[in-house]
């Protein structure tokens, strides 16, 4: 009887200890990560109206006109989510107008995939913001630069507008965030043909961007300074280079964002063809007030072939925008802008191009 009582007492103590242990509040900072699956839907819309100042053209009746049109230059549906705190994903269908005369859909708005990738968050093992991606994804330079520029809805940035590469491609990449927000490194291997074209051979593009913020913990006015270097090592075919180098300097502040990009290119479509070297730069600033009114000032300069150094392409963009008040990460804006381009010493001669436009932005 005494043994039975002792056994029951020990069993009661053990059960009580287990119950108490289960009710202990975890220590501060030990909250487990949220692994609840989630999905979010957003959208991006770029509507616009464009009036062409130069050159004039003719209509079907032979009348001289200034061409004009309403358009939606881009429309995204963003589907993002998490499988767990480690595994995330993004799918972004893109609607864009078909401009190729070789397509029977020329002039139509086409549905295609802009982004479709899996992301593996590495916060558990590295600095917060480090990750690896696999699929059709943002390339290292343009996604970074557009986040500071903020006026992608007016038109593409310098290197994309000149046709050197696009903002997305299929591949695998790794992003590492430097401690204390001193910068980041983004490196990836991509097809090299951009997201809107299929791969054509076995050549792959190695793209690397390194960005440093030397004053990340300094006085506030200097924290927005970043210096970046980007290199894209690719080939059209074996031993025929398609390389791009960019050196960039950006500044972010409450009242102005500004940036400078230097571009150097090397292209050789076939080994039997001569190599063409190009270089140029883009400088821009977006001064802004506290009531939503902002300006855009931008100048692009390009020498497509340094062997023909007299040939230059210059672009000037001047715009006035209003950003509507908002809460959270959504944004909306309207902008009136002038976009003009000149072509110096090309044969045959190319006419000046200029236009006035109203651009809109909806992003949520």
Residue 68: predicted pLDDT: 97
Residue 31: predicted pLDDT: 77
Residue 197: predicted pLDDT: 87
Residue 94 predicted with pLDDT over 60: yes
Residue 295 predicted with pLDDT over 70: yes
Residue 29: predicted pLDDT: 54
Q: Could you give the CA distance from residue 296 to residue 285 in angstroms, rounded to a whole number?
A: 6
Residue 16: predicted pLDDT: 42
Label residue 104 exposed, middle or buried (CB < 10 Å: 0-12, 13-18, 19+). exposed
Residue 145 predicted with pLDDT over 90: yes
Residue 250 predicted with pLDDT over 90: yes
| CB-CB contact of 113 with 168 (8 Å) | no
152-203 residue pLDDT tens: 999 999 999 999 989 999 999 999 999 999 999 999 999 999 998 889 999 9
Average pLDDT over residues 84-112: 82
Confidence of residue 306 (pLDDT cuts 50, 70, 90): very high
The pairs formed by 60-65 with CB atoms below 8 angstroms and a separation of 24 or more are: none
Average pLDDT of the chain to the nearest whole number: 90
- Residues 6 or more apart in contact with residue 42 via CB below 8 angstroms: 77, 78, 80, 363, 364
Residue 95: predicted pLDDT: 79
Q: Indicate the domain borders of the chain.
A: 74-115
Residue 30: predicted pLDDT: 63
Output the pTM of the full model.
0.87
């Amino acid at each position: 009887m005494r043994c039975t009582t002792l056994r029951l007492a020990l069993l009661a103590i053990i059960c009580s200890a287990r119950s108490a242990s289960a009710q202990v509040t975890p220590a501060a900072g030990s909250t487990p990560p949220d692994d609840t699956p989630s999905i979010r839907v957003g959208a991006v819309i770029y509507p616009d109206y464009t009036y062409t100042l130069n050159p004039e053209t003719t209509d079907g009746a032979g009348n001289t006109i200034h061409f004009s049109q309403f358009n939606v230059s881009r429309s995204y549906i963003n589907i993002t989510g998490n499988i767990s705190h480690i595994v995330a994903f993004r799918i972004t269908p893109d609607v864009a107008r078909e401009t190729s005369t070789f397509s029977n859909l020329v002039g139509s708005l086409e549905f295609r995939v802009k982004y479709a990738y899996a992301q593996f968050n590495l916060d558990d093992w590295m600095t917060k913001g480090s990750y690896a991606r696999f699929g059709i994804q943002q390339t290292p330079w343009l996604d970074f630069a557009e986040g500071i520029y903020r006026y992608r809805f007016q038109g593409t940035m310098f290197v994309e507008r000149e046709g050197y590469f696009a903002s997305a491609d299929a591949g695998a990449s790794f992003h590492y965030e430097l401690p204390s927000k001193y910068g980041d490194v983004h490196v990836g291997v991509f097809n090299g043909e951009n997201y809107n074209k299929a791969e054509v051979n076995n050549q792959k593009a190695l793209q690397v961007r390194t960005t440093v913020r030397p004053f990340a913990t300094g006085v506030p006015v200097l924290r927005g300074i970043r210096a970046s270097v980007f290199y894209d090592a690719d080939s059209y075919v074996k031993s025929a280079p398609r390389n791009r180098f960019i050196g960039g300097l950006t500044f972010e502040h409450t009242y102005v964002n500004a940036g400078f990009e230097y571009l150097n290119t090397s292209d050789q479509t076939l080994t039997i063809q001569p190599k063409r070297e190009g270089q140029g730069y883009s400088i821009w600033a977006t001064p802004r007030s506290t009531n939503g009114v902002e300006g855009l000032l931008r100048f692009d300069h390009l020498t497509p072939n340094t062997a023909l150094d007299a040939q230059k392409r210059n672009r000037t963009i001047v715009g006035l925008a209003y950003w509507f008040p908002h809460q959270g990460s959504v944004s909306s804006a309207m902008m009136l802008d002038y976009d003009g381009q000149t072509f110096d010493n090309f044969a045959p001669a190319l006419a000046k191009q200029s236009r006035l436009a109203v651009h809109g932005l909806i992003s949520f």
